[in-house]
Chain A
Amino acid sequence: GENVEQHPSTLSVQEGDSAVIKCTYSDSASNYFPWYKQELGKGPQLIIDIRSNVGEKKDQRIAVTLNKTAKHFSLHITETQPEDSAVYFCAAFGGTSYGKLTFGQGTILTVHP
């Protein structure tokens, strides 16, 4: 089945800096890669996603890049704000694990004012 590795496990930045979280996946047939933000005591919230036929997608301060050949994808947050502090999960969908999301281990992002 699919295996997703996420790094770093914790990330601390100053307000206004950029944050980058990276994930690798193992199943080359996976074709959809969402990113979720999870605040304490809440459910994961979809913040951006990318499909395998696209190399980059941007939504305001958030962008995701995908390298299918290397099987890795990254989340980029620019101009970070304290309210960006949360746990971020990458996930992969499709291929042999079609029908379910396989999540990375999560990154605890802390943005210091």
Chain B
Amino acid sequence: AAGVIQSPRHLIKEKRETATLKCYPIPRHDTVYWYQQGPGQDPQFLISFYEKMQSDKGSIPDRFSAQQFSDYHSELNMSSLELGDSALYFCATNGVRRETQYFGPGTRLLVL
């Protein structure tokens, strides 16, 4: 079965640079959630989109923005990167069963 696709899988950036993470949902899934997971931590919700509109917002820094496109893929844009932004970034998607979220493999971001 098709799964959630995230790209890139690994990303190394310098401080103050920008990064763009991409998420491609499971086919027919229209909702995307972004989570940040620090080392040894549980995933923390950042932001979500339903039918291309922002549906909920969590602990997302103002330096980050995200959007969902007409094909339902989503991009997380991160600017003015800080060392503390180094983490695993997951997107999760769901469709008809609104509460069941399926996670992608994640993007490991390292800020030097």
Interface size on B, residues (CB 8 A): 23
Most buried by A among B48, B55, B101, B108: B101
Q: Is A73 an interface residue (CB 8 A)?
A: no
B103 touches A45 (CB 8 A): yes
Contact A89:B42 (CB < 8 A) given known A32-B99, A44-B90, A99-B48: yes
Q: Which residue on B lies nearest to A98, using beta carbons?
A: B56
B43 touches A89 (CB 8 A): yes
Q: Is A101 an interface residue (CB 8 A)?
A: yes
Interface size on A, residues (CB 8 A): 23
- Note all chain A residues with C-beta closer than 8 A to B105: 42-43
Q: How far is the CB of B43 from chain A (nearest CB, A)?
A: 5
What 17 additional pairs, Cβ within 8 angstroms, besides A34-B100, A43-B103? A34-B99, A36-B103, A42-B105, A43-B104, A44-B90, A45-B103, A46-B100, A46-B102, A49-B100, A89-B43, A93-B99, A98-B56, A99-B55, A100-B45, A100-B48, A100-B56, A101-B45
Query: Which residues of B come within 8 Å of A, CB atoms?
Result: 4, 33, 40-45, 48, 55-56, 58, 90, 92, 99-106, 108
- The 9 A-B pairs with the shortest beta carbon distances in the complex, nearest first, are A103-B42, A43-B103, A99-B56, A32-B99, A100-B45, A44-B103, A93-B99, A43-B105, A43-B106
